[in-house]
Amino acid sequence: MSRSDEFFEKLQRYGPRVCIETGELTYQYKDLLYEVQCWHHQFDRWGVTAGMVVGLRSDYSLWSVSALLALLSRKSIVALIARDGDPTHQLREARAEALLDVSPDGDNEWRSLAPSSEHALINKLRSSGDGGLVIFTSGSTAAPKAALQSFDRFLYKFRKPGRCLRTLAFMLFDHIGGLDTLFYTLSNGGALVLTRRRDPDFVLNLINVHRIEVLPASSSFLRLCVARGAGTKDLSSLRVITYGSEPMDPVTLKRLTDWLKHVQISQKYGTTEVGSPPTVSRANDSLWVKFKSDTVETRVIDGILWIRTEGAMLGYLNATEGIDEDGWHCTGDLVEVDGEWIMFRGRCTDIINVGGQKVAPVEVEQVILQLDFVQEVIVRGEPHALLGQIVTAKIRLSADDLDIKEAAKRIRAHCQRCLPRYKVPMNIVAVDMSMVDARQKLRRRSVALD
């Protein structure tokens, strides 16, 4: 029996369990499977076949989840399309033959698309008889890439039993972290609690009202939660917080562990290219992590992490690099190594070259975030006639009454005490708006210093 067949067989066994909660509505697994069958009838009318590439544009709902499952069970290839912006580019890059747009209340729109050019990887997946996923990278450090994944390979990490828990669907529907949350929850008969807002006050209140047990979030979101001092909320139901998608700073992690002593706090690692291999943190307040799956291999070359795993993508549809002939993927993540433990230090593409000296922005950001009056910071390199680049910082202050000139003075003084001179920001500017995007990650590529 294939992994996909085993997965759908599990869903049948979970029939009366709660599957999805949204607002005042609660749906059981049998409701989900009923909607899957309804989609099958609709897909028959639309002529959806095995191997057909269908763009799915939606957020979490009973209808979007059931549409995704119905397409995958038909061995179709589902391209997950971002809800924000014009979908034309992503549909073209994914070689989509149709677009299904599903609204949160279940309304849908089907649009057939002009035939696209053939792609060898798609033809290979079709010939294997397996369904698939096209997932776009976030584009936070480069142009988004369309990664093609076999559905059977994607399910590899969910084959072992996990915990049946009430989990918040925090990561977006078209994000690898969101897919990981969805399929882990469904594989283990848990309940997925949906949200239309992702600001700290709303989410923390949702945890209280719906007695949520698992909060998968980004480091930036957790930093905002800690900065808001939302300790008045009842979070006694929480059992696990997982964070990832960008480096965490030690100060925020320490404050988080002090605030939620009863919660297991774990760092997760995942990329669109290799999925989300199982990891374990050295301790709640530790930034060191290791991969614990017997199907994941790692190596570090010149400080950059490489991964080989059964759950890796087949390749990109719009780029040539990806997985090498031996199955290894260069993640581009800078790491430190301590035996089997690793610590993430940012992306190699973000490195700043100051007169031949290399500066990792994350290192400078973590020093600046030690200051209570800084809520968010993005450090990057800016061109300089003599040095090549200089270190610059864009900050969002947590204190409205603090003058930016005084803040910059204190930031430089603190950095001079903690960092070599060439790592100290030469230019510091403040912004009023959050620098966190819809995926709850810092907007590194779109931030320019004025």
Q: pLDDT tier at 232 (50, 70, 90 boundaries)?
A: low
pTM of the shown model: 0.88
pLDDT digits (tens, 9 = 90+) for 7-62: 999 999 999 999 999 988 999 999 999 999 999 999 999 999 999 999 999 999 99
Q: In degrees rounded to 5, what are phi and psi of residue 163?
A: -100, 140
CA distance 204 to 69: 29
pLDDT digits (tens, 9 = 90+) for 299-357: 999 999 999 988 889 999 988 777 888 889 999 899 999 999 999 988 888 899 999 89
Write out pLDDT tens, residues 27-38.
999 999 999 999
Residue 431 exposed, middle or buried by CB count within 10 Å (0-12, 13-18, 19+): middle
pLDDT at 229: 62
Q: What is the pLDDT of residue 448?
A: 46
pLDDT bin (cut points 50, 70, 90) of residue 230 is low
State mean pLDDT over 353-364. Answer: 91
Is residue 446 pLDDT above 60, yes or no? no
- Summarize pLDDT for 146-160 with one digit per residue, the tens: 999 999 999 988 888
Which letter does DSSP use for residue 239 in this model?
-
Burial, 99: exposed, middle or buried (Cβ in 10 Å; 0-12, 13-18, 19+)?
Answer: buried
Q: Let me know: does 441 contact 218? Beta carbons within 8 Å.
A: yes
Residues 185 and 210 sit within 8 Å (Cβ to Cβ): no
